[in-house]
Chains A and B, each alone.
Chain A
Amino acid sequence: GESVGLHLPTLSVQEGDNSIINCAYSNSASDYFIWYKQESGKGPQFIIDIRSNMDKRQGQRVTVLLNKTVKHLSLQIAATQPGDSAVYFCAAWAPQKLVFGQGTRLTINP
């Protein structure tokens, strides 16, 4: 099976700084990874994804890095804004199902 874990349950950053959220997965056969953002009382929203044939992918203010050697991925958010406050989940596809980590709560300090 697959297990996914996040390194820190909470992360606090200053507004304008960059945020880095880390995630580890267990199944070396996992080949597709997704980051989601969840605001309070809502469902998770897709942020960015990456397949195992890539090691980096960039979106608008976000970058995902994948290190298959150590089974680790990270989400980088540039110039963090108050609207980035949320819980962030990484997820990895195991056969037939998407397995989620426990989430990192990102708090922005003014």
Chain B
Amino acid sequence: DGGITQSPKYLFRKEGQNVTLSCEQNLNHDAMYWYRQDPGQGLRLIYYSQIVNDFQKGDIAEGYSVSREKKESFPLTVTSAQKNPTAFYLCASSIGGQTGRLHFGNGTRLTVT
């Protein structure tokens, strides 16, 4: 079955450490996205990529970095510069363009202490 795989489901890190969240899709989608979700909140866009080797900042990109070296992969690094990194992180993909349905993974819950 086609889909989006995020790993791991739970991740624990000490403050000051960088951590990379994995996102892989086998839907052959061009566009990929990272969202952050805090308790009781909606989804806020961190970064997105419309094609390989290109990505743009979303609304809350500070303290995060991404790469898009392969079509199927869009890893997110949460750096030590991110002031409040504890959150639920969701990766999504879509066929591309400026409209279209996003398909989501099941998220990674990151806890930083």
Contact = CB atoms under 8 A, between A and B. Distances in A.
Interface stretch (A14-22, A36-44, A53-61, A62-70): A36-44
Of the listed residues A4, A42, A45, A97, the one surrounded by the most CB atoms of chain B closer than 10 A to its CB is A97
Interface size class of A (residues with CB under 8 A): 20 to 34
A96 B98 contact: yes
Nearest to A105: B40
A31 B99 CA distance: 8
Given A96-B98, A97-B48, A44 B42 contact: no
Interface of B: 4, 6, 33, 35, 40-45, 48, 50, 56, 58, 90, 92, 98-107, 109
26 contacts: A4-B42, A32-B99, A32-B100, A34-B101, A34-B102, A41-B106, A41-B107, A41-B109, A42-B106, A42-B107, A43-B6, A43-B90, A43-B92, A43-B105, A43-B107, A44-B90, A44-B104, A46-B102, A89-B42, A89-B43, A93-B98, A95-B98, A97-B45, A100-B43, A102-B42, A103-B41
Ranked 4 nearest A-B pairs via Cβ: A43-B104, A102-B42, A100-B42, A100-B43
